[in-house]
Amino acid sequence: MRADRVFAGRPAVVGHRGLGKGVVAGHRENSLGSLLAAVDLGVDWVELDVTRTVDDILVVHHNPADDVGGFLVEQPAHLLLERGVATLEDTFEALPPGVAVDVDLKTVLEDAPLGAGGGTVALLAPLLAREVRRRRLLVTSFDVAALLWLRERVPSLPLGLIGWVDFPLRMAVTAAAHLGLDVVCLHHGSFSVNAIERGPVHRDPARSVEVAHQAGLEVLAWCPVPPALDGLVGAGVDAVCLDDVPTALPLLRRATRA
């Protein structure tokens, strides 16, 4: 874990896939237009998703398949670029160096036979080693082994573990702490009664955040909407990742002033 903080202020605002999931304000998620529009609205960070193509080009895309059902890992990059998908390298070049970026390393099924340091993460490491010298970065993923492999190759890079939708908070926080990571990224539903756990197993959100802080972790909550947004701000999370930034950002600002 790092001695210095990843997120400045509390909470820092992260634009999920730029302006948000899907198409927001006319901008498609993970597009350069969406990322830059989120920056213009005043987010502190932008989050983008990274996966690979069949010809080993890193592209900025969330789902493993495109809109017509073709898996990206089975398609050449030039076809995806023709459909408006950007490469990660081009996206980094187009984003001003002052823009902080949360890189969500997507899990690719075809990486499984290649070992913890194979496939997508192997392509990503040299680009991150260059980029971390000119902007604030955070790499988050469900793939713990890939994160630990990255830590050996780019030791200055902050790393965060993502928990799935409604994933038990006690498991994600403890795992991230014991792995020595910097950030734990928790779905907003994990903080209270949800479809996975309806019983009396949830601590007060402020207590959960306090324990994470005691363990040296920063807490990013994704993607809360009111009233969950107000509650998480009050609980002291370090960052919130917002869907639909134009709508949610004013609500967050009101919550932080309250």
Return the pLDDT at 40.
97
The residue among 115, 131, 157 that closes a domain is: 157
In which domain, by residue range, is 223 found? 158-258
- Residue 2, in any domain of the structure: no
CA distances from residue 218 to 49, 95, 121 in whole angstroms, order as listed: 21, 25, 23
Which residue, 258, 249, 209, is CA-closest to 13? 249
Q: Are 254 and 227 in contact (CB under 8 A)?
A: no
Q: Are residues 176 and 192 in the same domain?
A: yes
- Residue 208, in any domain of the structure: yes
Return the pLDDT at 154.
97
Return the pLDDT at 21.
96
Q: Are residues 255 and 232 in the same domain?
A: yes
Q: Are 32 and 91 in contact (CB under 8 A)?
A: yes
CATH number at residue 198: 3.40.50
Q: What is the DSSP letter of 175?
A: H
Q: Are residues 229 and 164 in the same domain?
A: yes
Return the pLDDT at 258.
62
The residue among 97, 130, 157 that closes a domain is: 157
Return the pLDDT at 162.
98
- Residue 251, in any domain of the structure: yes
Q: Are residues 126 and 163 in the same domain?
A: no
- Residue 13, in any domain of the structure: no
Q: Are residues 97 and 76 in the same domain?
A: yes
- Residue 11, in any domain of the structure: no
- Residue 118, in any domain of the structure: yes
Q: Are residues 178 and 256 in the same domain?
A: yes
- Give the number of residues written for the chain: 258
The whole-model pTM stands at 0.96
Return the pLDDT at 26.
97
Return the pLDDT at 243.
94
- Residue 14, in any domain of the structure: no
Instruction: Answer left, alpha or beta for residue 235, where phi above 0 means left and psi between -120 and 50 means alpha.
Output: alpha
Q: Are residues 34 and 153 in the same domain?
A: yes
CATH number at residue 146: 3.20.20.190
Return the pLDDT at 128.
98
Return the pLDDT at 10.
77
The residue among 141, 157, 173 that closes a domain is: 157
Q: Are residues 178 and 230 in the same domain?
A: yes
Cα(171)–Cα(233) distance, integer angstroms: 22
* Element spanning 156, H or E: none
- Residue 1, in any domain of the structure: no
CA dihedral 51, 240, 3, 214 (to 10 degrees): -120
Asked, as a colleague might, if the bond just before 11 is cis with ω within 30 of 0, I would say yes
Total domain count for the chain? 2
- Which DSSP string do the residues of 145-178 spell out, in sequence order? HHHHHHHHH-TTS-EEEEP-TT--HHHHHHHHHH
Going residue by residue through the chain, which has 258 residues, state the pLDDT in tens, using 9 for 90 and above.
777 899 987 799 999 999 999 999 999 999 999 999 999 999 999 999 999 999 999 999 999 999 888 999 999 999 999 999 999 999 999 999 999 999 999 999 999 999 999 999 999 999 999 999 999 999 999 999 999 999 999 999 999 999 999 999 999 999 999 999 999 999 999 999 999 998 899 999 999 999 999 999 999 999 998 888 999 999 999 999 999 999 999 988 887 776
